[in-house]
C-alpha cells in the first residue's frame, strides 16, 4: 500500500480492516489488533492500524515515530505466534507524523497473542513451530490418532493405490509394506518405508485407520 493510498484511507471511517489508535496505545492493544487483522484479512487485501489518530479521525501525531515502529515490529515478531508480517510506515498529514501498520493476509493463520507452551521434562517451554503445527493438527480426529503413532512402526496396506507411482491401480490390486510415521497434519500423512528408506506423502482423505491383528500393531489403509 502506497503512502498516497494510506492518506486516502486515513480520511475514511473505520471499518473491518481499518483501525485508529492514539499515540499512547498500549502494547497489548497493538497485539490484539494485529492478531485480529492477520486472522481475518482475506487474500488480496490489507488491513491498516493507524497510530497517532484519535477515534474521531483527528490527527494527534506520534512524537517518536522510530521508537513506535520498533515497538510495532517487536509486538509482531515476539508477542504474536506465529509471528505476523507487518510493514510500519510513517505518513505525514496536517503537518504531523503518524505510524501506519499495514497487515497483509496471512498464510500462517491462526495467529495467537503469544506462544503456545508445552511441557519438556520438568519445564514449561514455548512450543517450536513443529510442535505448534502438531497442536493445531491434533484438533483433527484422524490426525490426532496418527500423531500418536509418530516415529513408531506401522503396517501399511495399499488397496487399489500405488504409493510408489502415486496413482490408482484398478482390478483389486493390493500390497503391504512396513512404515514409520514421520508426520501428520490436517491434510497430509508422511510415511517412510523402512526397507527402502523411501518417503511418501498421502492426502489424509485417502487414509483409513485400522489394526494389524497378525503383527499386533497399528495399521493404515491407503485407498484412492
Question: In whole angstroms, how far apart are CA 5 and each of 38, 42, 48, 81, 91?
Answer: 20, 19, 11, 29, 10
Residue 207 and residue 222: Cα distance in Å, rounded?
5
Q: What is the pLDDT of residue 107?
A: 84
Name the pairing type of β-strands 217-222 and 153-159. parallel
Contacts of 103 (CB under 8 A, 6+ apart): 34, 37, 38, 41, 46, 47, 48, 49, 84, 85, 86
Q: Can you give the pLDDT at residue 14?
A: 67
The pLDDT of residue 88 is 94
In angstroms, the CA 153 to CA 176 distance is: 13
For residues 157 and 154, give the distance between their C-alpha atoms in angstroms, rounded to a whole number.
10
The structural domains of the chain, ordered by start, are 3-104 (3.30.950.30), 140-222 (2.30.30)
Question: Left if phi > 0, otherwise alpha if psi is -120 to 50, otherwise beta: which for 148?
Answer: alpha
Q: Give the 3-state secondary structure of residue 177.
A: strand
Low-confidence ranges of the chain (pLDDT < 70): 14
Against a cut of 0.75, is the pTM above it?
Answer: no
Amino acid at each position: 500500500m502506497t503512502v498516497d493510498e494510506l492518506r486516502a484511507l486515513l480520511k475514511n471511517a473505520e471499518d473491518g480492516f481499518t483501525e485508529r489508535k492514539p499515540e499512547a496505545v498500549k502494547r497489548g492493544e497493538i497485539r490484539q489488533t494485529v492478531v485480529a487483522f492477520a486472522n481475518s484479512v482475506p487474500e488480496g487485501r490489507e488491513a491498516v492500524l493507524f497510530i497517532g489518530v484519535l477515534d474521531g479521525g483527528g490527527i494527534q501525531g506520534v512524537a517518536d515515530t522510530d521508537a513506535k515502529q520498533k515497538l510495532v515490529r517487536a509486538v509482531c515478531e515476539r508477542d504474536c505466534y506465529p509471528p505476523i508480517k507487518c510493514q510500519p510506515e510513517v505518513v505525514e498529514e496536517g503537518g504531523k507524523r503518524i505510524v501506519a501498520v499495514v497487515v497483509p493476509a496471512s498464510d500462517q493463520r491462526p495467529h495467537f497473542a503469544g506462544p503456545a507452551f508445552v511441557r519438556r521434562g520438568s519445564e514449561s517451554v514455548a512450543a517450536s513451530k513443529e510442535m505448534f503445527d502438531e497442536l493445531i493438527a491434533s484438533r483433527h480426529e484422524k490426525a490426532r490418532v496418527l500423531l500418536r503413532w509418530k516415529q513408531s512402526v506401522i503396517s501399511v496396506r495399499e488397496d487399489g493405490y500405488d504409493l510408489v507411482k502415486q496413482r490408482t491401480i484398478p482390478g483389486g490390486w493390493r500390497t503391504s509394506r512396513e512404515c514409520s510415521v514421520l508426520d501428520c497434519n490436517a491434510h497430509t500423512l508422511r510415511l517412510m518405508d523402512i526397507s527402502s528408506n523411501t518417503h511418501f506423502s498421502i492426502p489424509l482423505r485417502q487414509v483409513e485407520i485400522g489394526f494389524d491383528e497378525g503383527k499386533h500393531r497399528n495399521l493404515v489403509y491407503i485407498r484412492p
